[in-house]
Amino acid sequence: MPKRFRLTRRLPIAMTEDGYRNLKRFATDAGLDEGEALSFLFENFRSVINEENLTARLRLFNAEIDARKR
């Protein structure tokens, strides 16, 4: 039996402008709203990422985060 799709959690989140633009673009291309797009990405996280790229990108993001906050 298929799992019923309900959005049960609401999160107040802060995103960079670039991140939000990419989320909106992905959601539009996929025919989803932003919440559904985030749910899809996190429910399928392991299958939609490249772990080597994720590690490298996360390292860069963490190195730049203080400068981004200013």
pLDDT digits (tens, 9 = 90+) for 23-66: 999 999 999 999 999 999 999 999 999 989 999 999 998 998 87
37 CB-side CA count, 13 A: 16
Res. 1: pLDDT tops 60: no
pLDDT at 55: 92
Q: Quote the tokens at residue 36.
A: 């559904």
pLDDT of residue 70: 72
> Distance between CA 54 and CA 59 in Å, rounded?
8
Residue 2 DSSP symbol:
P
Residue 2: pLDDT over 70: no
For 1, the token pair is 């039996």
Q: How far apart are CA 50 and CA 11, in angstroms?
A: 26
Per-residue pLDDT for 4 more than 70?
Answer: no
Q: How far is residue 59 CA from its own chain's centroid?
A: 17
